[in-house]
Structure 1
Amino acid sequence: MGTTENTAQLFRDVVRLFVRDQRENAGCMDSGLTVRCHILNELLRDAPLPQQALVDRLGLDKAWISRAVDGLCMEGCVSKEPNQLDKRSVLLSLTPEGKTRATSLNLQLNHHVGELLAHVPPAQRAALHNALQSLHSALNAPNERSRIKCRK
């Protein structure tokens, strides 16, 4: 087995290559529309959402998110409604067209993953699944103290 440093570098390379490959192979991940795809996915997972929640989740500039949301609204994929809990913000939801588009995107991305997983020997798939579950739990830790952070 490799050293921790080698494993870390391998993991980072796999993630980098995976993200690049998904951008190249997914229907709306071209022509600089990656932010829109991330928005569609976030809203498909958990909507309605305040626009600020997208800024926080995606870690992107407010202006970028705002322009992308406006574009998705003009395309008929996202709707904005007043936030009853915070009158200064709006809640974003997928329209039926947006839900269709986001669902199609997710199917494309899942198909891509399936093709990649076909390269993993069947005997190793359960171990990979368990390792991914552990990483998922670490990245989704419910409180800030237990989340894994980069050192500054």
Structure 2
Amino acid sequence: MEDIRGLFQIMTRRFGFLNKNCCTAGGCDITLVQSHILYEIDRQHRPSIQQVSEALGTDITTFSRQIQALIKMNLVKKVSDPDDRRVQILSLTTEGKYVATTIDQQMKEYLTEVFSHMNDFEKETVLRSIKLLNDAMAKSSICCSTPIG
């Protein structure tokens, strides 16, 4: 049987997931976690802190520290929900939107370049396989947690 973990280890390194900063945009060094947060805030449109934390599978305490860092970088705004003052709503600042868009463009360019080394059939096979893997991971009883505990 193939070394499945080894395949994932190599892919993780090649994607740069282990790098301290995944990208630089708008003069900001952004960590991988921060780029995921910006993406979710942009994708969900004015979500609560809880909604983004749950979407990323992150505990709220760690997540709150990341939000504070993004607020200090002037990329994210946090305001109380007018209907329920206990709920904090997140949105991107103008700078945050620029950074999120820049990161998105960088990722699209990278993936386009990667897929340029494959024919259409290979590309479709990889994308279909990633979708299957994501679906299977979502059904896993240990999804979104560290397998070791």
Same fold (TM over 0.5): yes
Structure 2 residue runs of 5 or longer lacking an equivalent are none
Q: Is the 8 A contact 2:23 2:30 kept in 1?
A: no
SS of 1:119's equivalent in the other structure is: coil
Cα deviations by residue, 1:29-86 (Å, 9 ceiling, x for unpaired): x967333222111112112111122322333343332222122223322111212454
Matched, 1:12 2:8: yes
Show the counterpart of 2:93. Answer: 95
Show the counterpart of 2:141. Answer: 149
The residue type paired with residue 71 of structure 1 is A
Q: TM-score, normalised by structure 1?
A: 0.71
Out of 30, 33, 36, the residue aligned to residue 31 of structure 2 is 33
* Identity value in percent: 22
Q: What CA distance in whole angstroms lies between the structure 1 residues aligned with 2:92 and 2:130?
A: 29
Measure how far apart 1:132 and its partner are.
2.2
Structure 1 residue runs of 5 or longer lacking an equivalent are 141-146
How many residues align? The count is: 141
Q: 1:1-150 counterparts in 2 under 5 A?
A: 3=1, 6=2, 8-9=4-5, 11-20=7-16, 23=19, 26-27=23-24, 33-139=31-137, 147-150=139-142
Q: Residues 102 and 149 (structure 1 numbering): CA distance in 2 closer, same or farther, change over 3 Å?
A: same
SS of 1:91's equivalent in the other structure is: strand
Show the counterpart of 1:144. Answer: none
Q: What CA distance in whole angstroms lies between the structure 1 residues aligned with 2:30 and 2:91?
A: 22
Q: Residues 19 and 89 (structure 1 numbering): CA distance in 2 closer, same or farther, change over 3 Å?
A: farther
Q: TM-score, normalised by structure 2?
A: 0.72
Measure how far apart 1:133 and its partner are.
2.7
Q: What CA distance in whole angstroms lies between the structure 1 residues aligned with 2:97 and 2:29?
A: 21
Q: What CA distance in whole angstroms lies between the structure 1 residues aligned with 2:83 and 2:132?
A: 35
The residue type paired with residue 78 of structure 2 is K
Root mean square deviation, CA, Å:
3.0
